[in-house]
DNA sequence: TCTTTTAATGACTTGACGGTCAGAAAAGCA
DNA sequence: TGCTTTTCTGACCGTCAAGTCATTAAAAGA
């Protein structure tokens, strides 16, 4: 007899709305009413699903890193160093800045980077990426001096390229980026 | 006969206090009273020097980029590509994370990256850096395919390395970083 | 259709913070 | 020491957004 809604789905919809609004207008500019409006519901509804703004934001952080699984795992292992280079290049240039999870994350949580709740999972995410890259590197370029270190540095480099691409709309043309990545990934 | 204070010096002291507080506690956490307390003055005093919180922040942004002049201009022009590589390496690894102007900037204004008041001068700063790097590159490595593009990409790369170094205390060891930079800066 | 239970609403409350300003204090000259 | 001008102070005000809750709406079985 009662009205029933899918609570989990509604939570997700609220998180989606919040994420969009934060990304579009900046986390400090977005009020609870704005998130509600984004969903065409009343403010009170938000509070049926999240006890406070802070907890909503915490849930958003959690979700970010749950979804941010290893993008390398999805793709089939690269058959050669050349193919691997190409894949990295894709990673940097393929996604339009607005789709970039990382940029989205920065634009929302940039100011909270000193907050361990934010920086710890972020650091873990980059380490995970580096580990996966390092394993591929060892396999594909056995002569590479220090694959673990190289992979971690490569992650920093990729992040820098993506960030600038996203933030400043700067598109180092594909050729240049390719040349850079090739240079880095070629055994000395 | 009147009490006289150095207005400009006081403005600087207020900006210093604000910058420290923002850096330490996060810009959203810091209230006007907190900035005043940092200086052991009353809140009203701040308003004798800045008409509003927004203008204080704007002044801080301006100051950031006034002080962040071209770090390349300071150093004498590199006599060789090798020397240039060494200088870039210094740039990435020398300053301790906490002294890094750029990291300080990010930790304060990270969330405001979508705000043109913030992103415009930041983009201009990176472009200025890229231009300077590009000029040096053209001079030192005439064979380099597209020095302008390469320089801009190099700036992204350097920023990525510095950011990760600062944010995650990750120190790609000097050798690895050196190898990366050498690889990028060697004509193909 | 009526009834019951859950879900949604939005006017209202509360507290916090930016900004003001009348009065107090400080400085320095006569 | 008094006098004048500048500077500082902090209680107060207004606004605005988070969070509450009495009331209304929606769903669906009897």
Helix (H/G/I), strand (E/B), else coil: A138:
helix
pLDDT of residue A43: 98
pLDDT tens, position by position, B127-183: 998 999 999 999 999 888 888 988 999 999 998 988 888 888 766 677 888 888 888
- B77: tokens are 């022009």
pLDDT of residue B94: 72
Q: Which nucleotide's C1' sits nearest to the alpha carbon of B33?
A: C17
Interface contact B112, partner A, CB < 8 A: yes
Torsion sign (Cα): B89, B92, B96, B102 = positive
Pick from B71, B62, B162, B73: which is nearest to B117 by CA?
Answer: B62
pLDDT of residue A37: 98
Interface contact B113, partner A, CB < 8 A: yes
State mean pLDDT over B94-118. Answer: 74
Q: Strand D and chain A: which residues 54-73 have CB closer than 7 Å? A: 54
Q: Is the CB of B10 under 7 A from strand D?
A: yes
Task: Say what percent of chain B tops pLDDT 70.
Answer: 89
Pick from B110, B150, B155: which is nearest to A160 by CA?
Answer: B155
- Written as tens digits, the pLDDT of chain A (188 aa) is 688 999 999 999 999 999 999 988 888 899 999 999 999 999 999 999 999 999 999 999 999 887 666 666 667 788 988 999 888 888 888 766 566 677 778 778 876 777 777 788 888 889 998 999 999 999 999 888 888 988 999 999 998 988 888 888 766 677 888 888 888 887 55
Report the distance from CA of residue B4 to the C1' of nucleotide D3 in Å, as an integer. 17
pLDDT of residue B30: 95
Task: Say what percent of chain B tops pLDDT 90.
Answer: 38
Higher pLDDT: B44 or A166? It is B44
Higher pLDDT: A62 or B41? It is B41
- Mark which residues 16-45 of A lie under 8 Å from B by CB: 25-28
Nearest C-alpha of chain B: how many angstroms from A110? 4
Nearest C-alpha of chain A: how many angstroms from B73? 23
Q: Can you give B20-85 as a three-state secondary structure string? A: HHHHHHCCCCCCHHHHHHHCCCCHHHHHHHCCCHHHHHHHHHHHHHHHCCCHHHHCCCCCCHHHHH
pLDDT of residue A32: 98
pLDDT of residue A135: 92
Residue A50's H or E segment, with its range, is none
């Amino acid at each position: 007899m009662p009205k029933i809604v899918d609570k989990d789905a509604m939570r997700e919809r609220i998180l989606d709305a919040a994420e969009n609004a934060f990304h579009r207008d900046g986390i400090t500019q977005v009020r609870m009413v704005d998130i509600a409006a984004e969903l065409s519901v009343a403010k009170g509804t938000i509070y049926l699903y999240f006890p406070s703004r802070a907890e909503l934001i915490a849930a958003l952080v959690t979700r970010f890193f749950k979804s941010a699984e290893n993008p390398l795992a999805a793709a089939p292992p690269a058959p050669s160093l050349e193919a691997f280079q190409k894949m990295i290049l894709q990673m940097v240039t393929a996604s339009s800045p607005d789709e970039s999870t990382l940029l989205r994350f920065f634009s929302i949580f940039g100011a909270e980077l000193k907050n361990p709740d934010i920086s710890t999972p972020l650091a873990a995410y980059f380490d995970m990426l580096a580990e996966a890259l390092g394993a591929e590197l060892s396999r594909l370029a056995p002569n590479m001096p220090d694959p673990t270190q190289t992979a971690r540095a490569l992650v920093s480099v990729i992040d820098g390229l993506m960030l600038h691409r996203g933030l400043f709309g700067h598109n180092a043309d594909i050729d240049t980026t390719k040349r850079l990545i090739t240079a880095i990934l070629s055994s000395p």
